[in-house]
Amino acid sequence: MAVDRIAEPWGSRTPYDAGETWPVRVDSYLADGLDPADVDHWAQAASILHSNGDAMDIAVKDGRMVGVRGRAEDRVNHGRLGPKDLYGWQANGSEDRLTRPLVRRNGRLVETDWDTAMDAVAGRTRDLLEERGPSSIGFYTTGQLFLEEYYTLGLVAHGGIGTNHVDGNTRLCTATAAAALKESFACDGQPGSYTDIDHADVICLYGHNMAETQTVLWTRVLDRLAGAEPPAIVCVDPRRTPVAEHATVHLAPRPGTNVVLMNALLRELLDNGWVDHEYVDAHAVGFDELEKMLQDYTVHRAAEVCDVPPADVEEAARLIGTSQRLMSTVLQGFYQSHQATAAAVQVNNIHILRGMLGRPGCGLLQMNGQPTAQNTRECGADGDLPGFRNWSNDAHVEDLARVWNIDPAEIPHYSEPTPVMQMMRYVEDGSIRFLYVSGTNPAVSLPELRRIRSILSQERLFLVVQDIFLTETAQLADVVLPAATWGEKTGTFTNADRTVHLSEKAVDPPGEARPDLDIFIDYARRLGLRDKDGAPLVKWSTAEEAFEAWKECSRGRPCDYTGITYDRLRGGSGIQWPCTDQSPDGTERLYADGCFWSHPDYCESYGRDLVTGAPVEPTEYKALNPQGKAVLKAAEYLPPRELPSADHPFQLITGRTIYHFHTRTKTGRAPELQAAAPEVWVEASASDAEQLGWKQGDLLEVTTPRGAVTARLRITGVRRGVLFLPFHYGYWDTDAGHEPDGRGRAANELTLTDWDPASKQPVFKTAAANAMVVKPAGGIR
């Protein structure tokens, strides 16, 4: 009998022991009671509803998608699929897909043809370039397009139009992953591998509710826990998540205090001699500064500031300090918090101090939130230059100009590419007048929505939205371009452990919808973008040609794809970069030999001041790290910018649920997923509820100085003084359309406009809030 994967998201156990291979378990779901024999053909793909990169085949019958099946031969999931993988594909066939371009006429969006829409987009771009220059043009993309599309967009924006304003919504989910890796290793790239779960004796999850964000990876952990020699689990999370329930030690720090906790753990490692000094001496710089910084961070201080039991901090440090094969993963609990990069970097420091890098079981993963976020970063569509090139290294910019056959001066590099929150500021002050949003929904996902809506609604802004549904953001647009999505176009993408997958076109897109790649190329051609010899700037028209061009751009850089072809990705497993002639099967773990990509001439980044965000100057970096070692970067604690007060006594954190992805545009249209989590809710602790007389199911109004949200109360194991709201719920499926009609539903009505100066990732985890019952659960009480 089939397992109900809504009720049992991780499915049945296939236990395995330390060092063994994870057994295969093939999960599948076919619609309408269809049988595999009914399927016309299967198209190879991988999931784009989370960052895990679960490989799957799409079942096609009569030209329609009818189901999915996990790929047994793939290294990532060994056949398994999560609930979003199993049911999310149904959104592709929704009745309300965008099928024709829309333009705004007399205040209303009306259908038009592609020529009219694209001429409007290219025309406005050209006008602004003449009137106000490239800095009046901005691009905001996503973590859900394909590599080929990001690379093309990066080329068009940086190399063709010459604007510095390019970012992705990866800024909201993985910017800190990249920033933390750049601080410690001077380069992006996950050192670890998912296979480290097979070997680890201690697994630490820092602000990472893996059970809900990467269900299949958590299934792997559960299977280890069910086998012989199970690993110990250390969980840092203010909520009692499924991960916390399996933890040997669960630390639930007060929001906004991660740096104190991490520093105390590091100090325990030093005090107890749990440091591989030989490794540190040979392969790292910065030990003395770190040791000095840690003087002030005792377990006692952490217990006080973070409000955690001192014995638990000591026990966590003992597990970490005495482990033989230590694996760590980090996610939004750190990335979307106050001092995001500073805290995430301390996890890297643990691995450097213990010499736990590049060996089986010693995996360090600064996780990604979105499925193709790694590519947004690699390809230069999010505030980095393509191929992990260093924007403050002139030789790297010249090399990129060589690849693109343009003059180096055409690539703006006087400053780093502009992060989205700063772009919104420029839109607000009117210096950006054209914003091209692809595959993302800032009117729900950015903080302080009232402000964002007002910025995006300005008359003087020309807003282009390229999407598959009429999202909240699309409703504010001047032009809406209907895109094809996963399963309707071909391309590659890379997951959080550097595994590259091919995702093939299975069915035709609906109506006139077109692949994002085709739209970007069309845009470039209408603008007449040329290289320095007068040839078209974008020299490809198919996804595979774009991939081949990207390979040349990546040649010799850390994320080297030159050994991968579409054909090699067909049929077997995904391949981990770097993949070259020397390493044709890819590279399972980085930094195996204690060698890093951090040499001043080669590295992607010289780092930043973790408090001010000021970039480290090249000369400073050269003095600090002339030989290209790992960098132990110390960080002082700063209190959060918004603290609870008498009026707003709670700390509000926002987050995710297993059944939805981002702003629910797809998962809200998959019947099983929508039914599993149809409405927003708010979580509070039993002790707060008891004190305030709240009952399960009461309708609460949660308020901050920015707005209000009403939601039903769930009493859960969240820590005292903290409220939790899932951020997925917007307004597209309400009467009001794109904004609250009376009662707010989007968690971002409440969040504050504040970000980590180092990674520029917005803070979603420390707003001061109040809450009161507006309607009791059982009627009048």
Residues at the site binding another protein, with contacts judged by CB under 8 A: 132-133, 135-136, 164, 414-416, 421-422, 425-426, 428-432, 454, 609, 611-615, 617, 638, 641, 753-755, 757
**Identity of the residue, 416 or 544, whose beta carbon is nearer to another protein in the bound complex:** 416
Least Cβ distance, residue 436 to another protein (angstroms): 17
Ramachandran angles phi, psi of 388, nearest 5°:
55, 35
Q: Reduced to 3 states, what is the DSSP secondary structure of residue 409?
A: helix
* Phi, psi dihedrals of residue 759, rounded to the nearest 5°: -100, -10
Closest CB to another protein among 430 and 556? Answer: 430
8 Å CB contact between 514 and 71: no
Q: How far is the CB of 386 from another protein (least distance, A)?
A: 21
Choice between 451 and 568, CB closer to another protein: 451
- Whose Cβ is closer to another protein: residue 639's or residue 649's? 639
Closest by CA position to 441, among listed 729, 93, 735, 768: 729
**Cβ–Cβ < 8 Å for 482, 488:** no
Q: Which is nearer to another protein, 275 or 420 (CB)?
A: 420
Q: Greatest CA separation found in the chain?
A: 77
Continuous segment of H or E residues that includes residue 301: helix 299-302
Question: Which residue is associated with the tokens 């039993």?
Answer: 686
44 near 504, Cβ under 8 Å? yes
Q: How far is the CB of 463 from another protein (least distance, A)?
A: 16
**Number of CB atoms found within 10 A of residue 167's CB:** 25
Q: Which amino acid is at 442?
A: P
Q: What span, in angstroms and rounded, lies between the C-alpha atoms of 385 and 407?
A: 16
Min dist CB 751 to another protein, Å, is 12
- The tokens of 614 are what? 């000021």
Smallest gap from Cβ 59 to another protein, in A, equals 48
Give me the least distance between CB of 46 and another protein, in Å please.
Answer: 36
* Torsion 334-335-338-342 (CA) sign: positive
Distance of closest approach, residue 341 Cβ to another protein, in angstroms: 13
Least separation in angstroms between CB 208 and another protein: 26
Contact 743, 710 (CB under 8 A): yes
Closer CB to another protein, 245 or 609, in the complex: 609
Closer residue to another protein in complex, CB, 99/454? 454
Pick between residue 215 and residue 418 the one whose CB is nearest to another protein: 418
Name every residue whose Cβ is closer than 8 Å to that of residue 270 and which is 6 or more positions away in sequence: 291, 294, 353
> CB of residue 441 vs another protein: minimum separation in angstroms?
21
Nearer to another protein, 302 or 424 (CB): 424
Complex with another protein: residue 413 or 557, whichever CB lies closer: 413
Q: Are 593 and 355 in contact (CB under 8 A)?
A: no
Written as one letter, the residue type at 609 is: D
Q: What is the C-alpha to C-alpha distance for residues 684 and 773, in angstroms, rounded to an integer?
A: 12
Radius of gyration in angstroms for the set of CA atoms belonging to the chain, rounded to a whole number: 25
Nearer to another protein, 135 or 583 (CB): 135
Smallest separation, CB 155 to another protein (Å): 21
Of 754, 763, 730, 741, nearest to 445 by C-alpha is: 730
What is the closest distance, in whole angstroms, from the C-beta atom of residue 99 to another protein in the complex? Answer: 36
**Amino acid in position 419:** P
E-strand stretches of 551-642: 575-576, 630-631
Q: Which candidate, 469, 444, 440, places its Cα nearest to that of 102? A: 469
Quote the DSSP letter at residue 7: T
